[in-house]
Amino acid sequence: MTATTTPDRVVLRPARVVPRSPVPSLAAAALAFLATALLVTGATGPVRTGVVLAALLVVPGLALVRPLRLTEPVGRAALVVATSAAVDAVVALVMVWADRWTPVPAAGLVLVVSGWAALAHGVVTVRAGQRATLAGAVRAAWAARHEGTLVRLVVGGGVLVTGTALWAVGTAQTDATALGEWGLLPAVAPTWWLGAGAVLAVTVTALVDRRFPAALRVVSAAVLVVVAYGTANLVAAEPRPPWVFKHIAVTAYIQQHGSVDPTIDIYNRWPGFFSMSAFLGAATGTADPSDPVRYVEVAFALLDGALVFGIARALGLRGRWAVTAAVLFSAANWVGQDYYSPQALAFALFLAAVLVVLTTLRRAPNALGRGLVGGVSRVLRARRAPVVPAVAPAPRTATVTAVVLVVLLQAVITASHQLTPFVLVAALVPLVLVGVVRPWWIALPVGAAPLLYLLPNLDYVQEKFGLTTGFDPVSNVTAASTSIAIPSLATTLQSRGVLALTALVAVVALVGLVRSVRAGHAQRALLVLWLAACPVVLVLGQSYGGEGKFRVVLFSAPFLAIAAVHALHGRRLRLAATGALVTVTALLFVGTTFQAEQANQTPASEVTAARWLDGRFAADDTLTTVGGFPAIIGADYPAYLERWGQVLSLSDMMPWYHGAMTPADLDDAIAGRSHGGDDWVVFSDTERTDVVRRGVLTGAEVDALERSVAADGTLRYDRDGVRIYEVTRAA
């Protein structure tokens, strides 16, 4: 049999060549110089914040991404943002590791250099002459009128704007101060459901109707992501989830001290994300690190979706199907790792590295790779010989730039998160072995970076966490999570819902992979399959407190979504299946994530109390709370970690007392942890309700414990249902 490229319904087409325009480069240069001027003049306020942040997240990446000559605009823009974040992280890491914290001059230097580079490229593009023109765009729009594109633009755009407005009104009307076991589901206003439904309807229509305007298709998908990921953050009184406050505290510590201290915690040993956040905060004039946190989840969700779109295009999917893959990924990503965290940054940079590899470093497979492709094709009885896509070698400049960029991304990932760099190694090395990725030596720096970084931290990791929990993947996958929800009908349906969501996309993905192989695209199918399967490396030797399996789902989700799209190519029934799949996954995502929102909310009263206490807590003090009080919240958070048992809750201590705790038990527990300073005890009405609901303590028991503490100590804080007692003991 001979290779063939005869088209059929599932033929995948390369990205269309887009004429170069000088406008982005010239606009980036103007943005960089304006941001530099604001920094030099010492301007303050929202204008400086917005301009400088936009410049630092756009301009530095342009110079590095430009030689790759990517033609797909959405993926290219996302890669520019991810690369800019990596450059910012490197600058911040150099400053904190060298103990030379000068964020404003450093930001000015980065913007001046990258601004001149952007200006030079814009001038060269103007002189080259081959560029997009407004007249050309108008002619293309006029030519499309006969296909009904204009009608779809007007009607679809109108419904989308109306739906977005209704969603915004419904979000403003939603009260999230007293959520029950069903979380946000019954709390959101009816207007919200109308608006979200309209946005979903426009998105689904855009995905199944090929005559829908491409730009509006992308916009509607982005709005759907904002609706799904932004609602919970906008209605929350404080940043969410509760453990995000420690991340805010680490960022505040770096902003205040301009350095890191590896003796404090693991975050100071992997400070990439926190250093970048502190750098951006100082450069933009944002004094409180918690201010932008509520918008971070939406930003990462949009960035991840755009990168998945770019990866899908690099794998040959046409625009409409690439958007479908991005929407499916966003709807299937229920793991909840897009919030303000090192994992969120590392995952986005991982996707960016995969995009660079697939667009610039991808080559035809070697003999081993061709043997695998042929074997799989024979096993699945392909209807045609394997198609070997014609992969033109990238120019030398593009190849060198891609290698440098992948190494840069891996370096920042390595300094930010403990697990993600090993997923990139697992994804890349086998592709090098089968010849799909070249040059082969790129595997050396990518593989060496996480190992070399781990070596000086190995003893710390082994002592605090344990390097492995046993090389038993089945046990590691089935290990129970340390954050188990309270058993109820709502939590049961939620846990089954996320399983159904992942299983649905995985089954459709399997169908898509088989269909792709049988159509002659075994090479592409095996590539996607490996990228979806390689995250299993995370649970080979560790369960990570039962969280490892969630990381596997997270890293597999983009490629399962891309594989699933291959099952949907075609007309009639497959288009109906596309609409149904997107609708079902979107509804499952909203249902499962909104239900769990009660556990993600932190009352504003507790945050205010925690900040009050943070200014008074000393390194030899102890803190006892009823439940999950956000104690670690500010730049002085190391004071809470100086000694063993400084911060404990009644929920933590209950297993020691076999289900019952008396005032005498609490007094002994506090005295046993005392280090010569004051003992602070926090009682909160919200936490009391929570521990009673979970059956940890009864209301009478909590009240008795508080009366005992009140008799021994002094009430120092009493506001909005939160009471803080200070118990002073003789030395």
Report if residue 269 sits inside a domain.
Answer: no
Task: Tell me the residue type at 332.
Answer: A
Pairing assessment for the beta strands 722-727 and 714-719 based on DSSP bridges? antiparallel
pLDDT for residue 676: 84
Report if residue 338 sits inside a domain.
Answer: no
What digits encode the pLDDT tens for the residues 345-364?
Answer: 999 999 999 999 999 999 98
More confident residue, 730 or 175: 175
Report if residue 16 sits inside a domain.
Answer: yes
Task: Tell me the residue type at 442.
Answer: I
Distance CA 430, CA 62 (A): 30
Write the CB contacts of 62 (distance below 8 Å, at least 6 apart in sequence).
24, 25, 28, 80, 84, 114, 117, 118, 121
User: DSSP labels for 130-189?
Assistant: ----HHHHHHHHHHGGGGTHHHHHHHHHHHHHHHHHHHHHHHHH---SS-BTTBTTTTS-
Closest by Cα among 61, 698, 588 to 334: 588
pLDDT for residue 478: 56
Closest by Cα among 522, 518, 517 to 369: 522
More confident residue, 9 or 47: 47
Report if residue 670 sits inside a domain.
Answer: yes
Report if residue 69 sits inside a domain.
Answer: yes
- C-alpha pair distances (Å), 390 with each of 14, 370, 562, 563: 10, 14, 21, 21
Distance CA 591, CA 492 (A): 12
Write the CB contacts of 661 (distance below 8 Å, at least 6 apart in sequence).
650, 653, 654, 697, 701, 705
Helix, strand, coil percent values for the chain (each to nearest 5) = 65, 5, 30
More confident residue, 564 or 693: 564
What digits encode the pLDDT tens for the residues 505-515?
Answer: 999 999 999 99
What digits encode the pLDDT tens for the residues 76-109?
Answer: 999 999 999 999 999 999 999 999 999 999 999 9
Report if residue 237 sits inside a domain.
Answer: no
Give the pLDDT mean for 607-635: 93
Distance CA 117, CA 171 (A): 42
What digits encode the pLDDT tens for the residues 449-489?
Answer: 999 999 999 999 888 877 666 565 655 565 555 555 566 78
| Structural domain of 79 | 11-127
Mark which of 63, 96, 127 sits at the end of a domain. 127
Domain count along the chain: 2
pLDDT over 80 (residue 132): no
Cross-sheet strand order for the sheet of 714-719: 647-649, 622-625, 679-684, 722-727, 714-719
What digits encode the pLDDT tens for the residues 262-272?
Answer: 999 999 999 99
The C-alpha torsion from 166 through 168 and 171 to 172, rounded to 10°, is: -110
Q: How many CA atoms lie within 13 A of 237 on its CB side?
A: 14
- Backbone CA torsion sign across 267, 268, 271, 276: positive
Pairing assessment for the beta strands 722-727 and 679-684 based on DSSP bridges? antiparallel
Summary mean pLDDT of the chain: 88
What digits encode the pLDDT tens for the residues 332-345?
Answer: 999 988 999 999 99
> Could you tell me the two tokens for 125?
């593009």
- pLDDT-derived band at 153 (thresholds 50, 70, 90) equals confident
Distance CA 434, CA 322 (A): 26
CB 133 within 8 A of CB 61: no
pLDDT for residue 462: 86
pLDDT over 50 (residue 704): yes
Give the pLDDT mean for 697-706: 93
Mark which of 127, 147, 170 sits at the end of a domain. 127
pLDDT over 60 (residue 129): no
CB 159 within 8 A of CB 219: no
Closest by Cα among 557, 564, 592 to 578: 564
pLDDT for residue 724: 97
pLDDT for residue 309: 97
Beta bridge partners of 624: 648, 681
- Report yes or no on whether pTM surpasses 0.85: yes
DSSP H helices, 596-698, are 604-614, 650-653, 663-673, 685-693
Distance CA 199, CA 220 (A): 7
Report if residue 706 sits inside a domain.
Answer: yes
Report if residue 123 sits inside a domain.
Answer: yes
- pLDDT-derived band at 658 (thresholds 50, 70, 90) equals confident
Q: How many CA atoms lie within 13 A of 309 on its CB side?
A: 26
- pLDDT-derived band at 436 (thresholds 50, 70, 90) equals very high
Distance CA 352, CA 79 (A): 6
What digits encode the pLDDT tens for the residues 559-602?
Answer: 999 999 999 876 677 788 999 999 999 999 999 999 999 889 99
Mark which of 127, 144, 178 sits at the end of a domain. 127
Closest by Cα among 594, 531, 119 to 334: 594
pLDDT for residue 569: 72
